[in-house]
Structure 1
Amino acid sequence: MSMTTKHREILLQVTPDLLNDLDADDIVPHLLADMIITSHDAAKVKAETTRRDKVSALLDIIPTRGDKAYGSFMECLKKMEGSTHLYFTMKKYEDTYQEQSCPIHEEYTPPNQGSGHSPTVTQHTQRDVNLTINASGHSVVKNNSLTGQSNMFFNK
């Protein structure tokens, strides 16, 4: 039950802020109540001597508890007085992560239906589309969703 890469990376990005500003003693009871961490985990965190070491121990545990842990952690930050700025920092990284992510959505090659066309469309990100058309004669790509233009390709 591991946390998604996205949430792990966001936690890594925010770790310096969390180490500087979070009080693990405030958040541990909430994570216990949400059944995100065990009493053994809570004891490990409380056994650390400095506030930063406690936060570090907690940040070692949370990613092993899955995405539910991430959501619970975010809710705790949002509701805890003195930690809302950490919640907003994490939200900022979430937004940035979504803009920078590059998932491969699809690759589509329709069958050649005797028209002389064999287009291949590969969409790598929401902003980047590669289109290859092998055609004899005249080909038209209409309603390009990226530019809003119709493009014509001629094979001579």
Structure 2
Amino acid sequence: MSMTTKHREILQKATPDLLNDLHADDIMPHLLADMIITSQDAAKINAKATPRDKVSALLDIIPTRGDKAYGSFMECLKKMEGSTHLYLTVKKYEDTYQEQSGPIHEEYTPPNQGSGHSPTVTQRDVNLTINASGHSVVKNNSLTGQSNVFYK
């Protein structure tokens, strides 16, 4: 049973933060109780020389235990004292992942502009923030063909 690509990629993105701040010794009892890791897994993790190596070993095991493991891991981070910031970090990566892989709402093929081919451009839900000191103009938007003016 393997974890979904989405959850695996989220954990991979959060790995640097988890390696720096997570304490495997604190989370392992919870994961053992939830039957996400076995006592043999815990022994392998505990055999590692450094706290960082222990977390790395734990993060190697969790994706092999499916999406239930991801949910349990997240609950542990949320509830464990001193790990709430890690829970929020992983949630941030979840939110980013969902924005990047949102559904395609429309497809636009611009008219042939003499290049011999017409590329297809897809549009996704995107949050766009423009910081301007006065006003900014986006002319000839390549997707819609319209001009937009933004005022601060």
| Counterpart for residue 32 of structure 1 | 32
| Counterpart for residue 126 of structure 1 | 104
| Counterpart for residue 88 of structure 2 | 88
| Counterpart for residue 136 of structure 1 | none
| Counterpart for residue 67 of structure 2 | 67
SS in 1 for 2:105: coil
| Letter of the structure 1 residue corresponding to residue 88 of structure 2 | F
Alpha-carbon separation, structure 1, partners of 2:90 and 2:38: 24
What's the offset of the Cα at 1:127?
A: 3.4
**Under a length normalisation based on structure 2, what TM-score does the superposition of the two structures give?**
0.69
Moved over 6 A (4+): none
Alpha-carbon separation, structure 2, partners of 1:64 and 1:25: 20
What's the offset of the Cα at 1:49?
A: 1.2
What's the offset of the Cα at 1:128?
A: 3.2
**Pairs within 5 Å for 1:5-154:** 5-101=5-101, 125-129=103-107
**Under a length normalisation based on structure 1, what TM-score does the superposition of the two structures give?**
0.67
| Letter of the structure 2 residue corresponding to residue 94 of structure 1 | E
Structure 2, unmatched stretches of 5+, are: 110-124, 126-152
Alpha-carbon separation, structure 1, partners of 2:81 and 2:23: 11
Over the aligned positions, Cα root-mean-square deviation in angstroms equals 1.6
Higher relative contact order (CA 8 A, sep 6+): 2
Query: Number of aligned pairs?
Result: 110
Choose 1 or 2 for highest CA Rg.
1
Alpha-carbon separation, structure 2, partners of 1:93 and 1:128: 25
Structure 1, unmatched stretches of 5+, are: 103-124, 132-145, 147-156
Alpha-carbon separation, structure 2, partners of 1:78 and 1:33: 16
Q: Deviations over 1:8-63 (max 9, x none)?
A: 00000000000000000000000000000111001011111100000000000000
SS in 1 for 2:104: coil
